[in-house]
Structure 1
Amino acid sequence: MSSKKMGGLGKLSQFSGIRQDSQPAESEPVEVVEPVEPEAVEPKTLSAPNAQSSSKDKAKRKTCAKETQVTLNINVSRRQKDWLSDTAQTIRDNNEDPVAPADRVYPQHLIQVAIDLLQSSEVDWSKIRNVEELRGYLNL
């Protein structure tokens, strides 16, 4: 690309701040940064929102927060979709004070809790053959 096309501004490398030669100019100060040792940093403590939470629940929530979120496309009935939306809205309406966007409840959160509930249930998954058997086992 010529400098005429860029309006006479010159090459892009001139704007990056990276010098073409490997030696820093004598007029430029060189700053040496020393790494911080892990022992020197005090760990942050997290307070539990509910004193009745067990340590197992806290560990689950902590690992869930660090996990990478992925998109899952599922088909649900219109009735189920409406119930999820209405229930999430009811939960949001239960708050008298404004809630930060990251802490608001949406249908996806209800589905995540339902998955946690299934994982923690005492179902012998090796004996379940279809959805109807699962519904019967869970008394749904």
Structure 2
Amino acid sequence: MSAKSRMGGLGKLSDFGKTSKTQAQPETVVVEEPKAEQVAAPPPEPTPQPAPQKQADDKGKLVPINIKITRRQHEWLNDMARTVRENNSEPVPPNERVFPQHLIGAAIDLLQASDMDWSQIKNVEELRNVLNL
């Protein structure tokens, strides 16, 4: 069996990737600079838009985070999210289904709404004590 019959007459494998000697020369492109008379006036300043509201940020773009939780916490989050999804008697659209990330987001909202003095919290143990956990 010859190499020619195995490769269908394509030649040696080492020949692939080599450039041919008859490459086309790149064309020269001439760019003309605009004359002073042709230069357009700068565009007017954009009109200031009202600042976005806080509610728009809450519903805004989701960003991924990397957190480490215990296996028990992970299982609990999955179980609770499944329980909430099963509470619905009718199908829920995908964008309204509850998953562990939504429970974590709700927990963050609870922490934000708490009336604790965050400047006094020095570690996780103190946070747990303030929250009576």
For the superposition of Structure 1 and Structure 2, which TM-score range results when normalised by the shorter chain?
Answer: 0.5 to 0.7
Q: Which residue of the partner structure matches residue 109 of structure 1?
A: 102
1:131 equivalenced with 2:124 (yes/no) = yes
Q: Which residue of the partner structure matches residue 74 of structure 2?
A: 81
Q: Which residue of the partner structure matches residue 90 of structure 1?
A: 83
Q: Give the deviation of 1:123 after TM superposition.
A: 1.1
Query: CA-to-partner distance for each residue in 1:94-134, whole Å, 9 max, x for gaps?
Result: 00000000000000000000000000001101000000000
TM-score normalised to the size of structure 2? Answer: 0.58
Query: CA-to-partner distance for each residue in 1:1-41, whole Å, 9 max, x for gaps?
Result: xxxxxxxxxxxxxxxxxxxxxxxxxxxxxxxxxxxxxxxxx
The root-mean-square deviation of aligned C-alpha atoms, in Å, is 1.5
Q: 1:112 to 1:60 in 2, by over 3 A?
A: farther
In structure 2, stretches of 5+ residues that fail to align are: 1-52
- Give the letter for the 1:94 counterpart: N
How many residue pairs end up in the alignment?
Answer: 81
Structure 2 counterpart SS, 1:115: helix
1:64 equivalenced with 2:64 (yes/no) = no
- Identity percentage of aligned residues: 56
- Give the letter for the 1:124 counterpart: D
Q: Give the deviation of 1:63 after TM superposition.
A: 3.8
- Following the alignment from structure 1 to structure 2, what is the Cα–Cα distance between the partners of residues 62 and 104? 20
- Following the alignment from structure 1 to structure 2, what is the Cα–Cα distance between the partners of residues 60 and 123? 22
Q: Give the deviation of 1:61 after TM superposition.
A: 5.7
Q: Give the deviation of 1:64 after TM superposition.
A: 1.2
1:122 equivalenced with 2:122 (yes/no) = no
